[in-house]
Amino acid sequence: MKRTRRPLGALFASARLLAALILLLSLMAAGCVELSLPAPSASNSDALAEQSTEDLHKEAEGFWTTGNFPQSELLFSRLLERELPLELRLQALDRLADSAFKSRHFHQAKSALDRRVVADGSVLATWPWHELYIKTLSALNRSDLLENHRAWMTAHTELPFEVRSRAALAFAAIYCRNGEMLQAVDILARTHSLAPDRRAKAAMEAEYAAQLRELPEAQLQGLARSVGQNGSKTFPQAFIQRELQRRAMSARAEAPVLLAQSGRRTVSDQPGVMIPGVGPVRVALVLPLTGRFASTGAKVLRGAEVAQASLAAQGRSVEIKVINADAPDWREQISALPRTFTVVGGPMQADRFQETHSAGLTSSRAVFAFLQDLGAVQEGVQAWRFFPSPRDQVRALVDMTADQLGIHSVAVLAPKNRYGQRMTEVFQAEAKAKGLRVASSESYPPGDHPRWIQSVSRLLKIPDSFRRNKNVPLPMPDFGAVFVPEDWAQSELLVSNFHFFEGQHMVFLGTELWSVALDGAKDIDDSYFQLAVCPGAWWAEAPSAQALQAKLSGQPQDVADFWVALGHDFIQFAARLNLPADWTPALVNQRLESLRGMEFSMAPITWDAAGRARQDLYLFSPRKDGKILTDPDELRAAADKAKERRVKRLAYSRQLQKAKKLDGPSGSLTLEPKD
């Protein structure tokens, strides 16, 4: 797919792309942050709390300067718990990442690097950040995250060439250590060819020559065998051959000494490094490949094929058996699979899943349904879920509402149907668990648009006096946000009713139905949705999503979306899960919990000890050309400003009503609203 390149300044100045860049590390972190800090005594904790910010910073800086990294890690982590000026926060995050890495607290180092990007995305244009990030992932033995980071950097040619060339050298060194010589040569050659001028090429060549001098003999010989005698004037082949010649001349000069001391030497090849759990992984996918949902099933399969190819390139064999869920004998096909096909992805249709369970197939295979819930089937015991749930959607909304928007009283306006009732129940339960007050709840007939305004009126507790006299001031609602579990088309009509009752200050909380509809939306009327949020599992501008897109063929029709990501991520997941033929539910749950930190191209999923899935969804706000990632601070500021205007209008209306009562119809008092 042809990419449009933008200047570096535009890359990091753009608010939308900066938000996407911020997601780069939060997606890669995806639940794998494990802090390991020196535990201060109670007296030390009290002393730290009593220190001024300036003194705490000086002490932390002193420990860092003198190389006492465990102590500087502790103090910088404590310093970052305080409100700091941006410049000091950025420095503290840099110091924390460095200290944690040198203390071998690699998860803490990665967490600090993640937060550093969130605080200031422009750090992605600097090499030191990428250098420490790559070293940290290597120390964590996270080849999957390293590969995704490499793909992300490859896709962003807007980054300074110095950063990209040094990254290429770092990744080439990793490939060499893993015995992947062709990959090392390829990344070096491709990056070198993209240099903007001869000076940039020369700088890269000089660094690679220095790297080669330090390369172990086995790795150099492996590179030499990969490139052969071809390309003697190209990079990096010429430099590999030159280093071979240099070492040969040096060896001849030292030969008498070497033979006298140790006799004849031989060089052995370094084997390629396999992913943990060596051996083929066999996975079955139950997808609708014909009928109404065939196009969706095809997308999931496309993503699975991409993951299979990616794993093969890393030396991991994955065999995929695809079963058409619309075939008459689809259940028999599952039963006939060898026992080594331990994991099944799908089905995607609720009735097919229930049939899978009824036929006893969930007892012989670890079935991960691509469904919002498992119905009567017990999650984590009889089957598992690999899909966002209603609770995931609501949890994301409730957490933002309470923790970031500061709204603690909410309402629900839902359609009178099964979906509306179900989502209302989930929302009310999550709101209660979070300590939110559900101040009002109403339902409306989905197909009777004229009656919707009556439901909105009841929700807002509009007094009868207003219905008789439109000049009566409207009371301020006792809630600040409204949950609207409805599809986008209906919501566009529904939400407009709030503005009739001066509800412009309300924050509207939608569901994933909004997010899906907005993915392909253009030129929508967002005037009623300036204060609105909806959850979603797919964000095309996320670096991990762009890395998936880079793996596709590049044809116009070969575009990554949620369903492609679902298939891709499931195969990657199954390969890491690597269940044996004699699996048990307890073993599945044990391995699921240990999978924290797996990289997803869609929103990341984690599992608790009981095998229950949780997907940490993105939050979006509707806009004219679709949607953008929600900025909680901007949303809160806009909501507060709208509420302030509403309060002023209410005060003005009350003053006006009072003046009319005092002066009568002919009164001359004039009031102006203050905005």
Q: Which pLDDT tens digit goes with each residue over 525-542?
A: 778 898 999 999 999 989
More confident call, 660 vs 252:
660
pLDDT tens digit sequence for 284-333: 999 998 888 888 999 999 999 999 998 988 888 899 999 999 999 999 99
16-25, 90-99, 238-247, 666-675: which has the highest mean pLDDT? 90-99
Q: Are 287 and 346 in contact (CB under 8 A)?
A: yes
* 428, 438 Cβ separation under 8 angstroms: yes
Cβ neighbours of residue 286 closer than 8 Å, sequence gap 6 or more: 323, 325, 330, 334, 344, 345, 346, 347, 348, 352, 356
pLDDT of residue 467: 57
pLDDT for the residue 604: 93
- Looking at the domain that runs over 22-122, which CATH code has it been given? 1.25.40
- 462 vs 459: CA distance, rounded Å: 8
CA distances from 673 to 84, 501, 611, 651, 653 (A): 39, 18, 58, 8, 8
pLDDT for position 164:
93
pLDDT score of 490 more than 70? yes
Segment 520-524 shows an average pLDDT of: 78
State CA 395 to chain mean position distance.
16
pTM for the model stands at 0.58
Identify the CA nearest to 160 among candidates 190, 130, 134.
Answer: 130
Q: Choose among 482, 491, 475: nearest CA to 639.
A: 482
What does the mean pLDDT of the chain come to? 83
CA angle 348, 352, 354 (to 5 degrees): 110
C-alpha 286/C-alpha 347 separation (Å) is 5
Q: Which of 193-197, 272-276, 422-426 has the highest mean pLDDT?
A: 422-426
Question: Quick one: pLDDT at residue 532?
Answer: 94
Most confident of 143-147, 155-159, 348-352: 348-352
Query: Would you identify the CATH topology of the domain 390-536+631-636?
Result: Rossmann fold (3.40.50)
Average pLDDT of the segment spanning 544-567: 85
Q: What is the amino acid identity at position 637?
A: A
CATH of 281-388+548-607, one of 1.20.1330.10, 3.40.50.2300, 3.30.420.10, 3.30.70.1520: 3.40.50.2300
Q: Which pLDDT belongs to residue 209?
A: 85
